[in-house]
Structure 1
């Protein structure tokens, strides 16, 4: 059998009225704090303002929610039931607002990520480590490979690609950029000389790079007289691994051209010296790609956002 308080509140479920969130918030604060003065302090308004808001709510509902005496304030039986329901509603609204502001619910679940091997290890894995600390409910599988992964066949959620992207159905988000530089060891340059122009490269040894998935050789491009031009350079040694390419350069096998991030440590240490800087082509984009979907997972959205923040510079 229902109590009188529950009966009074039941008709509120059928009541149609404009939601007065300010009044409801004031009423919930009174119930939580045990009085108008404490509720006013918590809300940052006057006690009179709280009292008027609660009275307005009682008038609209036609139910006494708060029993007032000169010495105390307490919720009525109906007010106690209504307080529980309103507090839950306000909590739901607050969470909904947080979700909307963040663009998603709390990230959770699994992510499979494909990364270029060296770039992934040097630049992305530290970011992923921070991501896992911030979102402990997300389980991540990282696949390091210089081969372009097939997102559908291999079940990959996100993949990072370096360079201009071909037209495809994949959704791409630019998260940074990188430039190509040509370097040589101090010993090599002391012996062969420092090239002053791309035309000088014909008398130099060059270590070539071959794409591991297509076996296509790297194309050397330079900005000459305001236009990007391709220079054909024969190479006696070709490798399909970025670290092997850099290693050959530090061992004075020949000049090497690669993304600057591959050689930043060697450049800083002085084991490689860059040349032809004024002929460098514009940086190429670094992008994260994913399959088209109307609703990417919260975990994927959060990681893409973090990558953009950390790699944009």
Structure 2
């Protein structure tokens, strides 16, 4: 019996609470996972897991073994990652997840650079606005927007998410331009709701250094960033999309910035990963790479000087390499 593999299989089963999910995330047949646990229990002479058709739970012996196995596996990861060749040549499958708009507009156009630097990493990129459970879904790292509250995860701030309040000319022609936050009581907004909780995200503004949230009536609520932006373009209400998505429509006149005195609350963008992944070289290099990616773009590093210029900037001649460095800001 491979004791190290048995520990890895056992801890993954506990983390995802499923034999089949553990098999999928480890790339093993379901039958092999079952056999490995049976052999481990036979070798130790104790029952580690209570299994029924509907439930999976740790026995007291299983809980004690799990705590020790996690420490041992972490020590092994630390020892392996200390070698220079591991730092220089990380390898293996890396599963990451991020909001769809960030993935499409910023990460995917540059992912070939990551592949060129780390050819031995097989990158799986999931994109969507629905939050994932890193442990249950076997995801190594996610890029998340907003303030994080899960203390079981490690987060590194990699960028800033700046929104902009705006509406289409068609909406403005019907409802007028709000001059103050109080005017919003007479306006409509496209509402955005959290996929997991169903909670509506209120409009937010920075007023004298403090965040002020404003509830606005709205005929439509969505939970997808692209749909949210499209609803605003179609004149269904005021929206607060990320500026990096709204920028081309602001420059073309398809959207108009509203209430420029009171900007929406900036939100942190973080790379998040579980405690037991924090020493993995492949996670470390991805987080470093994505942090550099955000830092190279003024729309994500908090250094953009103007959110809504009166007219498009004059064309600037740049070579292909320089243009690629700031694709989303071009």
Both proteins in one fold, TM over 0.5? yes
CA distance in 2, matches of 1:299, 1:270: 43
Aligned residues of 1:127 and 1:307 also touching (Cα < 8 A):
no
- 1:192-232 deviation per Cα after TM superposition (whole angstroms, max 9, x unaligned): 22212111111112111111222111122222344322212
Verify: 1:299 aligned to 2:282, yes or no. Answer: yes
| Alignment coverage as a number of residue pairs | 215
CA apart distance, 1:282: 3.9
- 1:49-83 deviation per Cα after TM superposition (whole angstroms, max 9, x unaligned): xxxxxxxxxxxxxxxxxxxxxxxxxxxxxxxxxxx
Give the alignment partner of residue 149 of structure 1, picking from 132, 144, 147.
Answer: 132
CA distance in 2, matches of 1:170, 1:126: 28
Verify: 1:188 aligned to 2:168, yes or no. Answer: no
Correspondences of 1:1-313 after superposition (within 5 Å): 104-293=87-276, 296-312=279-295, 313=301
Q: Which TM-score applies when normalising by structure 1?
A: 0.64
Point out the structure with max Rg over C-alpha: 1
- 1:94-151 deviation per Cα after TM superposition (whole angstroms, max 9, x unaligned): xxxx975x99131211100011122221122223232012211110111112111111
CA apart distance, 1:270: 2.1
Aligned residues of 1:107 and 1:135 also touching (Cα < 8 A):
yes
Specify whether residues 103 and 162 from structure 1 end up closer, same or farther in structure 2 by C-alpha distance, changes over 3 A only.
farther
Specify whether residues 133 and 187 from structure 1 end up closer, same or farther in structure 2 by C-alpha distance, changes over 3 A only.
same
Which runs of 5 or more residues in structure 2 are unaligned?
1-81, 296-300, 302-330
Aligned residues of 1:170 and 1:290 also touching (Cα < 8 A):
yes
CA apart distance, 1:258: 2.2
Specify whether residues 166 and 295 from structure 1 end up closer, same or farther in structure 2 by C-alpha distance, changes over 3 A only.
closer
Which runs of 5 or more residues in structure 1 are unaligned?
1-97
Aligned residues of 1:185 and 1:252 also touching (Cα < 8 A):
yes
CA apart distance, 1:183: 0.8
Specify whether residues 104 and 132 from structure 1 end up closer, same or farther in structure 2 by C-alpha distance, changes over 3 A only.
same
CA distance in 2, matches of 1:251, 1:277: 21
- Find the residue that maps to 1:212 and give its secondary structure: coil
Q: CA RMSD in A?
A: 2.1
CA distance in 1, matches of 2:229, 2:277: 41
CA apart distance, 1:153: 0.7
